[in-house]
Amino acid sequence: MTGRVLQIVPMGNPLLKESCKSVEDPLAVEIQSLIKDMETTVEYIGCSGLAAPQVLAPVRVVIFRVMKTTTNPAYQLTPEYDPEGVPWTIMINPKIMPLSEEITMGWEGCLSLPGLLGKVPRHHSIQYTYLNRQGEEETRIAHGFHARVVQHECDHLDGILYPQRIKNMADFGFKEEIIKQMERP
Ligand code: NI
């Protein structure tokens, strides 16, 4: 029933730079078992999202959630849009469409760059469409932090890691230090 905890590959691995293949059959045994393993992995780690290439599967599959609250002051959650957060969501072959020109800046981290954070520009509002684990199409609208997480995870499927999107490299550093600076009175 439960999957395996998969190893996350760090930045530098060539697979993280590749554009991933679309999933032809979401119900295929290997896709369903990858989904199960990714679910087990994110629950074990306690993170917010994971893309298949991070576990060496070069296919367009992502899992993410948006938490209701966080103790990390770097993450500017936007509960005005998702007061309850967003539950764990599996996306197969996701597609993003920006809904406006508005760009917001926010801190991001990534399991493939442990211990680091960077400030990244993202579309504030998007519409996204994906196949769920049953292979059915779903469409959602997202704003703020929810939109940011979706854009971050989908970037992985095109071989893009968040440092490639940082505008000012001065806004890149170690999480522990960035949080310490934020918490200073
Ligand atoms: Ni990531």
**What pTM was estimated for this model as a whole?**
0.96
pLDDT at 185: 78
Helix ranges (DSSP H) in 28-139: 29-45
185 C-alpha to ligand 1 centroid (Å): 30
pLDDT reported for residue 1: 53
Q: What strands, in cross-sheet order, belong to the sheet with 49-51?
A: 49-51, 61-66, 86-98, 125-131, 137-143
Q: In the prediction, which pLDDT does 141 show? A: 98
Question: Which residues have beta carbons under 5 A from ligand 1 (an ion)?
Answer: 110
Q: Torsions phi, psi of 18, nearest 5?
A: -95, 155
14-183 carries CATH number 3.90.45.10? yes
**Helix or strand run (H / E) with residue 113:** none
**CA 49 / ligand 1 centre spacing (Å):** 7
Residues of the chain with pLDDT under 50: none
Residue 55 contacts residue 41 (beta carbons within 8 Å): yes
Query: Do 149 and 128 meet the contact criterion of CB atoms below 8 Å apart?
Result: no
How far, in Å, is the centroid of ligand 1 from the Cα of 36? 19
Instruction: Catalogue the active-site residues.
Output: 153
Q: Do the beta carbons of residue 97 and residue 147 sit within 8 Å?
A: no
